[in-house]
Amino acid sequence: MTALSGRTAAGLDRVVRFGDVRYDFHVRHGHSAWDDLRARLAGLDADRFVVIADAGLPDAMVAAAELALSSVAPTLVLSAEADETRKHLAALDRLAEQALKSGITRRSVVVALGGGVIGNVAGLLAALLFRGIRLVHLPTTLLGMSDSVLSLKQAVNSRCGKNHLGTFHAPVLVWNNLDFLETLPADEIRSALCEMIKNVLGIVPERYDEVASLLRTDGRYTPEVLTRFIDLCVDAKTAVMREDHTEKHEALVLEYGHTTGHAAELLTGGRLRHGYAIGIGMLAAARMSRELGLLDLSDELAHRRLLELNGAPTRLPAELGTDAVLDVVRLDNKRGYVPGRSGALDFILLEALGRAHRPGGKLITQVDEDTVRLGIESVLSDRYALVGA
């Protein structure tokens, strides 16, 4: 995966490539942004747009998007809950039935209007309809803009865990309007930036000081700084996905913090925001790495510093227990990259900032359950907080 072009006076223009796949990626803001979108949509020659919209979006935002799309082709807006507990096959089936009854064809385009959950649902819908029709992302969250749309992965949850049912399907266009972010609570911004922090810690540590100087605990940023953050995320993800568009080799580092994080997110029914869960998951992973002699204390502290500068939580909700988190971790979707070992669980760990641990040349580290338990407990109780700091 490579990315071309970059920031301009208008915003950000990049062409993202995953091997032979490529798509345009744009960031805009201000009134003229809608004219830019209409021009790009017209080039798709679609006979219909089916919009999968987050049911929680402001009516004015959905109406503005519908107006832009319907000026290009007939448009149907379908509502979906941006809720991890409703991100399942039954919801997908309902949307597929409505889309098919509307007259959707192979020339039609599915449009995702929402954050990561909606992007996943719409992406998998587009991948499955007629064995694959075109997909456009209009992300309405910073997490969507900076993370989830920079991937071909589309998935929904099973009854056993997160993102077990899915495939790979590329968008034809990603169009980001920073004006969408104006209605978001500060927690949404801070949560999204935890994924950017993951990219800094795991892939581009040379950007550490730059990011540390820009982060704010209040989550308030100018469009220019937000564009800079998004551009950094494009750079980081392209660095590891250039030859790994299915994210099974070098790009597995993007899963750093996700093993414990996904478990916490699932157990709280999504009440713990995704980015916050991943941030806490990174702290658990950093503690495991230090216990295994991979990371030193300064590296572990470096994790915590960026999260605190971002105003993000560093503890799991008190109602979660170690055993409950462990039970979900045992069903994590990274199982099987390496042969399983009794009494050990698979994690992505770092041996230095920007350098993943590679036992046997693989990015998967099998961690004994006692060490995993200690890592989880370190983010559940102050009793385990940074011994030696």
The reported pTM is 0.90
Angle at the Cα of 222 (from 220 to 225), degrees rounded to 5?
105
pLDDT at 384: 41
* pLDDT above 60: residue 260: yes
Q: What is the largest CA-CA distance in the chain?
A: 64
* pLDDT above 80: residue 19: no
State the Cα–Cα distance between residues 169 and 118, nearest whole angstrom. 15
* pLDDT above 90: residue 246: no
Number of Cβ within a 10 Å radius of residue 32? 10
203-206: long-range contacts, CB 8 A cutoff, minimum separation 24 = 203/236, 203/237, 203/239, 203/240, 203/253, 203/354, 204/232, 204/235, 204/236, 204/239, 204/354, 205/353, 205/354, 206/354
Strands 21-28 and 173-177: parallel
Mean pLDDT of 360-384: 89
CA-CA-CA-CA torsion sign (92, 97, 101, 104): positive
Active-site residue list: 153, 255
Architecture of domain 186-384: Up-down Bundle (1.20)
**Quick one: which of 234, 240, 270 has its CA closest to 255?**
240
- The token duo for 277 is 């869960």
State the Cα–Cα distance between residues 159 and 150, nearest whole angstrom. 26
Contacts of 96 (CB under 8 A, 6+ apart): 125, 128, 129
CB distance 215 to 306 below 8 Å: yes
pLDDT tens column, 198-212: 999 999 999 999 999
| CATH domain 2-183 topology | Rossmann fold (3.40.50)
The percent of the chain in helix, strand and coil, each rounded to the nearest 5, is 45, 20, 35
Number of Cβ within a 10 Å radius of residue 176? 27
pLDDT tens column, 95-154: 999 999 999 999 999 999 999 999 999 999 999 999 999 999 999 999 999 999 999 999
Strands 350-352 and 165-168: unpaired
What residue has token string 């590891």?
240
In the chain, where the domains are located: 2-183, 186-384
**Secondary structure of residue 110 in the 3-state scheme:** strand
Radius of gyration of the chain (CA): 20
